[in-house]
Amino acid sequence: MRTPTLAPTTATATTPPAPAALGPVKTRRRPVLIIASVAALLLSALGGVWLWTAATSSVEVVVAKAAVPRGAVIAAGDLMVARVSLDPAVASIPASEVSTVVGQRAALDISAGGLLTPDAIAPETVPAKGETVVGLSLVDGMLPAIPLKTGDDVRVVQTPGAQGQVGEVSPVTIAAKVVAVTRSQDGQFALVDLLVSADAAPDLAARAATGKVAVVLDSRER
């Protein structure tokens, strides 16, 4: 008896189900970092705007390279040009007009690095019409220990005669304005140039020649 031949059976492999697809992982940003980033962007933008504004609003103006006392003649070496940012309401002298400032007089004390304004200069010449400059040679004690400055208001006072006695009559005084002050080469005398009216000049020169005069400084308040 023949044993029946069985057909081979094919095993079917069972495929496990694929895992479910995972969605993107959500990252949680800290609010502090977000605020910091926004603030940094805003600051960067504001800085750019400020730099652009400063560059476009700056102008070249005349400034003092060295200090210039009131009443002194302004020389070319006293000036320089600088680019600055100015409010339109602030008066200044454009760099293109620097040559017009040379040779004029300082109407007030100008500090080094200070901005020159139209009010800081005066076109007057010294001596002007009707005025005269008289020079005095004074020993120490015949003028204040406080250094005299160009433009100071002073009075020249006649001092007592040879006997050194002060009379009952008030001494003669002559009002003047300081033009320049230097020292003699040996340093023993102060050489003071004073601006007075043309009428007072002969009297002052005659009294100064006697050596019997002193200079007193009046108030500097304006």
Residue in this structure with the two tokens 């007030």, named with its chain if needed: 108
Exposed / middle / buried, residue 110 (Cβ in 10 Å: 0-12, 13-18, 19+): buried
Q: The domain spanning residue 96 has which CATH number?
A: 3.90.1210.10
CA distances from 186 to 71, 139, 190, 214 (A): 27, 12, 10, 20
- Number of domains making up the chain: 2
Residue range 172-196, pLDDT digits in tens: 899 999 988 889 989 899 999 999 9
- pLDDT tens profile 4-23: 555 555 555 555 665 555 55
Contact 214, 159 (CB under 8 A): yes
- Per the structure, the complete domain to which residue 81 belongs is given by 58-122
Question: What is the DSSP-derived secondary structure letter of residue 178?
Answer: E
Record the tokens describing residue 174, joined without a space: 């002559």
187: in domain: yes
Q: Is residue 53 part of a domain?
A: no
Report how far apart, in Å, the C-alpha atoms of 147 and of each of 64, 119, 154, 190 are.
Answer: 22, 25, 12, 10
Rounded to the nearest integer, the mean pLDDT of the chain is 81
* Residue 198 included in any domain: yes
Average pLDDT over residues 133-162: 90
